[in-house]
Amino acid sequence: MSTPQTLHFIANEHLPSQSGRFFDNRSPVDGRLVSRVAEAGQPEVDAAVAAARAALHGPWGRLSVQQRVDLLYGVADEINRRFDDFLQAEVADTGKPHALARRLDIPRGAANFKVFADVVKNVPSEFFEMATPDGGQAINYALRVPKGVIAVIAPWNLPLLLMTWKVGPALACGNTVVVKPSEETPSTAALLGEVMAKVGVPAGVYNVVHGFGPDSAGEFLTRHPGIDAVTFTGETRTGAAIMKAVADRVRPVSFELGGKNPGIVFADCDFDAAVEGIARAAFENTGQVCLGTERVYVERPIFERFVAALKAKVESWKLGRPEDPGTVLGPLISAEHRQKVLGYYEQARAAGATVVTGGGVPEVPAELVGGAWIEPTIWTGLPDDHPVVREEIFGPCCHVRPFDDEAEVLRLANDTPYGLAATVWTRDLQRAHRLASRLEVGVCWINAWFLRDLRTAFGGSKLSGIGREGGVHSLEFYTELRNVCVRL
């Protein structure tokens, strides 16, 4: 049986690379070969950008807002019609449990198209009347026009969800896109091309090129003179490299980058809800969530009880194959990423951390030994300046530390170069609101985690990003405002 191939999608066609170069896409569950993926060189990126430019000034650019909205609704409906195809493709790449992908990844991947279609359809505009110097009158009104060809650089942790979070508003606003999915998770981006073509999205509106970063598809795309803007989710240092790549051409960027997010638990919290919330925030998707909580601060009177309850909760969760309905935790994305995370596990152990649970590689059945399995891990006892407490690990782990008062925990929470998200668990809503206004983050949850209204502003501060996405806030990046002044 031949190995499936994942090809580029350019101008509504699946195409190989001119060079004939491919790379392996392997399952993180057991190491088996999922597909051979075409690696883009400069010619493929040139072709994708040219197709996007042609569509921008061709059939796509001539559609009305309502016609675009209708097509995007069609995309969402077709994703849902092919739900199981997207589920299988996403799970094959990521190894995440079916239950999680069914609840989160695929529904949100479809919803992103409808949400932003509705936003664009209903967005207000500006209108001003003015007097002219000679005593006459004029009116001014604003047009939102597409920014152009958008480079979409998507991550591997929530591949479909975070890719469509960018593609949805970009297309709703009338732009065209060239998507570079992570080399770890190419499948759903390619599958989405079939959906686009099926529902009648014109050729060149949605294009996909596969490959890596430096000296590959990522670098060729971000440096391309035909790109008008770049949106990226991923590591902070990669974001910095992209900023350098676009600086000479002064191209706008939208970045959602790394985080080292604090979870703050006060003694007056709903204890069971806080344990459940922190467990999800630290360990869901095997800790591979940019909004996850790797630093937990617990008020001292409940510290020992909370650590014991968190340990019991995490140890009750089953690691296993994605299709097993009892599976809660899957593998990490790759063997390489596991080595990185295990490096932090070793640093914690060497520094004398108390390993509450985990700390290594679990025993798994023989057929899973080739996968990137790792134990969910809880530590206590590390100093505040230790790398495990300071640096983003992006694995299923957290360090738990006691605190004594609000001023102390606010200082600890803000003592980081990152500023993406925080969670606060307390019944005292005055205190919660007070902390939310002082925490240096883009998103603050009170007695919740990962609860998202897609109309709200989303993004990070400090090293966690530039710009905001969500609802009308996405339009600020994906459109340009053009003022029209009419003398009456």
Please tell me the distance from the alpha carbon of residue 33 to that of residue 11, in angstroms, as a whole number.
28
Sorted by sequence, the CB contacts under 8 Å of residue 2 that are 6+ apart come out as none
Please tell me the distance from the alpha carbon of residue 265 to that of residue 248, in angstroms, as a whole number.
46
Sorted by sequence, the CB contacts under 8 Å of residue 148 that are 6+ apart come out as 56, 175, 176, 228, 229
Please tell me the distance from the alpha carbon of residue 122 to that of residue 50, in angstroms, as a whole number.
31
Q: Are 425 and 447 in contact (CB under 8 A)?
A: yes
- Catalytic pick among 173, 269, 290, 397: 290
Report CA-CA distances (Å) from 53 to 151, 171, 204, 217, 329: 12, 13, 8, 18, 42
For residue 417 the two structure tokens come to: 């170069």
Report CA-CA distances (Å) from 184 to 256, 275, 300, 467: 19, 32, 42, 26
- Catalytic pick among 44, 78, 183, 256: 256
For residue 36 the two structure tokens come to: 């051979």
Please tell me the distance from the alpha carbon of residue 331 to that of residue 285, in angstroms, as a whole number.
9
**3-state SS assignment for residue 394:** coil
* Pick from 245, 96, 107: nearest CA to 180: 245
Angle among Cα 319, 322, 326 to the nearest 5 degrees reads: 55
Distance between alpha carbon 473 and the CA centroid of its chain, in Å?
Answer: 16
Determine whether 256 is an active site residue.
Answer: yes
Amino acid type, 242: I
Please tell me the distance from the alpha carbon of residue 398 to that of residue 234, in angstroms, as a whole number.
20
Please tell me the distance from the alpha carbon of residue 184 to that of residue 186, in angstroms, as a whole number.
6
Active centre residues (catalytic): 256, 290
